[in-house]
Amino acid sequence: MAYLDEKSFKKHISSKKFNNIYVIFGDEKYLVKFYTKELVTAVAGKEPSEFAFHQFSSDADIQSIADAIGAVPFMADYNCVLVTDMDLNKLSKEQYDSFMDVLSSVPLSTVVIFSFTALSQKDKASDKSDSDDKKKRSRFKPFCTAVDKMGMGAVAEINMRSATALEHQLSTWADKVGKKLSLPVASRIIYYCGTDLSALRLELDKVCAYAGESDEITLEMVEATVIKKLEAKVFDMVDNVIYGNTDKAYTQLYQLFAQREEVRDILRILGFAYVDLYRARVTVTSGGIMKDTADFFKYGNRSWVLNKAPKKAEKLSTNALRESLDAIVSLSAKLNSTTMNEEAALEKLIADLMLIAKRELDYA
């Protein structure tokens, strides 16, 4: 049986046909917490009985969890056990095997929920690790497989939503507090903050508070309040380089220096931006499909960045993009092999990229 995705898991919770064991995890921590709460509420009610609801944190004693699983529900339909961020790797082999035996015979009146919000990519996929690390990180995936194969078990993997879905989510949140948020303005918030829902919710709350009595959230309000990630700042700078806005580009660069951003981090993201433009340019000129390019290069939830690139890429020829990438790679190599004034070197690179952009008439 395949893992449940967000849509399937939401439908499953609504059906109220509960399994006895659940594992909930995924890249989107906000949604993992949200659906964990939704499942607990569906099973145990909005105000769970202290006699039929047992909650454990990552450092809980394994025997205490086992005892709670075996408890009989009192004044409730189900005995609900919630275990958050259990560290399976800390258990000895004997403890792990014994606990799996407990799970294989969970009473029909008990629902056990394992919610993981602190998993790293290494925790979820250790097959590429060296042998020592693999031993330390090998339990999560087998644990999910074992639960999934149990006739009474289900595993839900809740990952990040697409950019379009995030835009609609932000608009819905704004609507609930009496504010109108258009999808283009929602898209700008995502562009500045990334796709993490917790961060997006925090920034949206700030914008709504800043909006005051205004019924609509405008782009100017977003610009005034939202904290931009370094990626968004560099991408904005690239836009100004491409469109020939010299003063704005340098102002943004100097602001990054003033904020003590690392030159190498700026250069790395600058490279990503031009790679996105190059891939978009080649896709369009070859008659390809942007989604296929995004899938091939594993953009995942960053595919929205690639979707915005074609319009910008129109300003530069394929040759100009290649020349720009050569300049970026050249500086990166020099930074790794030569001692220099890194800020001055990056400033010169921006000047070179602007000259390349302005020479486009020569390529026409």
Q: Residue 346 CA to chain centroid, in angstroms?
A: 29
Task: Place 144 in a pLDDT band, splitting at 50, 70 and 90.
Answer: very high
Counting residues of the chain whose pLDDT is more than 90, the rounded percentage is 73
Mean pLDDT within 262-278: 95
pLDDT in tens, 190-238: 989 988 899 999 999 999 999 999 999 999 999 999 989 999 999 999 9
- For 114, the token pair is 């394992």
Secondary structure (DSSP) of 130-168: -HHHHHHT-SHHHHHHHHHHSTTEEEEE--PPPHHHHHH
pLDDT tens, position by position, 299-317: 877 777 888 888 888 888 8
- Mean pLDDT, the chain, rounded, equals 90
Q: Mean pLDDT over residues 96-119, rounded?
A: 93
Burial class (CB in 10 A: 0-12, 13-18, 19+), 210: middle
CB within 8 A of 224, min separation 6: which ones? Answer: 210
Rounded Cα distance, 114 and 150, in Å:
15
Domains of the chain with bracketed CATH = 6-157 (3.40.50.300), 163-225 (1.10.8.60), 230-363 (1.20.272.10)
DSSP 231: H
Element (H, E) at 74: none
Is 80 in a helix, a strand, or coil?
strand
The pLDDT confidence band at residue 12, using thresholds 50, 70 and 90, is very high
* Residue 253, pLDDT score: 96
Q: Is 156 left (phi over 0), alpha (psi -120 to 50) or beta?
A: beta
Q: Are strands 21-25 and 110-115 parallel, antiparallel or unpaired?
A: parallel
Residue 61 has pLDDT above 60, yes or no: yes
Cα(192)–Cα(194) distance, rounded to whole angstroms? 6
DSSP for residue 34:
H
Q: Where are the alpha helices (DSSP H) in 286-317?
A: 290-296, 303-313
Cα–Cα distance measured from residue 35 to residue 25, given in angstroms and rounded to the nearest whole number: 10
